[in-house]
Amino acid sequence: MSVITLETVSRWYGNVVAVNGVSMTVRPGVTGLLGPNGAGKTTLIALMAGFLAPSAGTVTLDGVPIWRHTDAYRTIGLVPERELSFGYLTGRQFVRANAELHGLDAPGAATERALSIVDMTEPAARRIGTYSKGMRQRVKLASALVHDPGVLLLDEPFNGVDPRQRLHLMALLRQMGAEGRTVLFSSHILEEVEQVARQIEVVVSGRHAASGDFGQIRRLMTDRPVQYVVVTNDDRALASALIAEDAVVAVSLRRQGGVDVSVSDFGGFAVRLPRIARERGVRILELTPTDESLESVFSYLVER
């Protein structure tokens, strides 16, 4: 049972800060690292894998700093997001090379075991350059599993994977977590994380935004104020009616037409808006959410 701990970890490249003061603990089971693209997820995974030294703070595995800790590397498996550059190798050659680098006593047997786990035994004789995106993801996973690590780190493992392979990979991660491994995978899709992990760590702009089980994170995201623009045939009449609504946090008229509305209870607002419009004789021409991007959701979590 392995535990990775980050304590006020920062990593910068010259004047660019990639990770800023992040503290989190990754325990046995499956943890989802959630955040928009460019949030710092890849940098955090590289720090946990020991490929990067923190510019400040500490990253430890069971209390021992990971950077330059050779024994720690033997208990960590990494599936990077970047594409493989070994297209000339067969899948079997690629996985076996990692087995030999780890100095395993029976690299051939370990290779076949890892290929079997990810259902890649049959295509393993083909060159990686002929593989689909999903097959390349699976052979990377086999390489990461060949030395039977207690910690598995995966960077956006579901990118480009077809639905059938996605389900297979999700089932594998759940199984590994149930076996007691410490599994962390990154994603920018909340629903993707929901299907695999109960524990979620949220990062945005290099900062740790939230931590908790899926239900807690979902509530934080859905309870936040949501912004809309409502365009009608009588904006002033609608604005004056909305001010009195409990679900409405703020209302303002737009100079170019329309009403900016901030609501704290989307469900209540969705039910009340058409009723209010009908009662006031107002015709709704357009209703548009203005902050439904992942970036806006995560930014809200950071500000809490």
CB neighbour list of residue 72: distance below 8 Å, 6 or more residues apart: 50, 61, 64, 66
Residues 157 and 252 in one domain: no
- CATH number of the domain residue 157 falls in: 3.40.50.300
**What is the domain count for the chain?**
2
Q: Are 39 and 205 in contact (CB under 8 A)?
A: yes
**Residue 210: strand, helix, or coil:** strand
Residues 116 and 194 in one domain: yes
What values do phi and psi take at 230, rounded to 5? Answer: -115, 125
- CATH number of the domain residue 258 falls in: 3.30.70.100
> Looking at 206, 221, 236, which one is the last position of a domain?
221
Nearest Cα residue to 66 out of 147, 2, 18, 20: 2
The sheet that has 56-61: what strands, in order across it? Answer: 16-26, 4-13, 56-61, 64-65
Residues 30 and 148 in one domain: yes
Low-confidence ranges of the chain (pLDDT < 70): 218-224, 266-267, 291-304
Residues 210 and 241 in one domain: no
Residues 109 and 242 in one domain: no
Q: Which domain covers residue 149, as residue numbers? A: 4-221
b (16+ CB within 10 A) / e for 132-154: eebbbbbbbbbbbbbbebbbbbb
pLDDT of residue 284: 92
Hey, what are 218's tokens?
């979902």
Hey, what are 20's tokens?
């800023």
Residues 129 and 251 in one domain: no
Residues 209 and 128 in one domain: yes
What are the CA-CA distances from residue 263 to residues 192, 223, 245, 249, 251 (Å)?
27, 10, 9, 5, 9
pLDDT of residue 213: 81
What span, in angstroms and rounded, lies between the C-alpha atoms of 285 and 174?
46
Residues 285 and 168 in one domain: no
> Looking at 221, 256, 279, which one is the last position of a domain?
221
Hey, what are 109's tokens?
């047997």
Burial of 201 (0-12, 13-18, 19+ CB in 10 A): buried
> Looking at 221, 254, 274, which one is the last position of a domain?
221
Residues 99 and 234 in one domain: no
Q: Are 54 and 10 in contact (CB under 8 A)?
A: yes
pLDDT of residue 221: 64
Residues 96 and 129 in one domain: yes
Residues 18 and 127 in one domain: yes
pTM for this model (two decimals):
0.75
Q: Are 68 and 60 in contact (CB under 8 A)?
A: no
Residues 217 and 80 in one domain: yes
